[in-house]
Amino acid sequence: MEQHVLDIRLWVDLAQIITALVTLSGVALSFWISRKTLHEIQNDRILGQRPFLLFDYGGHRTEIEFTKQNDDKEYIQAYWPKINDKGEIMVPIIGKLKNLGSGPAIDVRITWVVEEVYIKGEKFNIDDEKRKEKQYSLSWNENPIMTSHLYPNQESGFHIIPYFISSDFEKKIEKASGYLKITYFDTYENKHETYQKFNVFTNYSEQNKWFHTTFSDLIKKTSHYS
């Protein structure tokens, strides 16, 4: 009789342990599902606020002028007419950068990454070693746009000639190719980057001075030239 009672108690204890384990597993599963659901909701919110910036395809020609600065070197700058027929100051805008995403883009900056330049019809490659020079360095060829933030469907541009052209004091670069790195943040402070090909052409004749930029393909990899 005592052995029978002992067996019953053992089964009861075992049943309680199994029940506790099942309950604990259920709690853990519920916690995991809750975390997974919360993570999915957060991802949906982030995707719902994700910006996407891209320049309109096509070319933009900008009149330029030569301006001496404190170092007595003649820099190439966009020409700013003093005033238009309506009495308004006209700011030259290069390109149309659009936010095609669903959320605002914050702290937008453009970096010109030069890969090739043409001088007197001859092509020269610009590699990482060459980018250590000030003229082609990424830091000196980073520009803000006209507005630091872009809301969905809003567009802007820039008015500063890239440094690799403005500091071409001998005015020998006829053409340049590479890609633009467009950097921006969403409202959750996540960093985003878009890469887009560009081609630049220059004309320094006395009667007709201009800087022409062509924006073309969106790229995923930065090493796209053969």
Q: What gap in Å lies between CA 6 and CA 224, rounded to an integer?
A: 78
Q: What gap in Å lies between CA 147 and CA 53, rounded to an integer?
A: 13
Bridge partners, 183 (sequence order): 109, 193
Closest CA to 99 of 160, 168, 151: 151
Q: What gap in Å lies between CA 152 and CA 100, rounded to an integer?
A: 6
Give, as one character, the DSSP assignment of residue 221. Answer: -
- Quickly count: other Cβ atoms within 10 Å of residue 6's Cβ: 10
Give CA separation, 149 vs 90, 143, 146, 152, 183, in Å.
Answer: 21, 14, 9, 10, 11
Give CA separation, 6 vs 2, 15, 16, 18, 19, in Å.
Answer: 6, 14, 15, 18, 20
Task: Give the global pTM.
Answer: 0.74
Chain Cα centroid distance, residue 125 = 24
Question: Residue 129 corresponds to which tokens in the numbers above?
Answer: 């070693």
What lies within 8 Å, CB to CB, of 214 at 6+ separation is 58, 59, 60, 198, 199, 200, 201
Q: What gap in Å lies between CA 223 and CA 151, rounded to an integer?
A: 30
Answer yes or no: are the C-beta atoms of 104 and 152 closer than 8 Å: yes
pLDDT by residue, tens only, the chain of 226 residues: 544 444 556 555 555 666 665 565 655 556 555 555 544 444 444 445 799 999 999 998 888 888 887 777 888 888 766 667 777 777 778 899 999 999 999 999 999 999 999 998 899 999 999 999 999 999 999 988 888 889 999 999 888 889 999 999 889 999 999 999 999 999 999 999 999 999 999 998 878 889 899 999 988 865 444 3
pLDDT at 189: 92
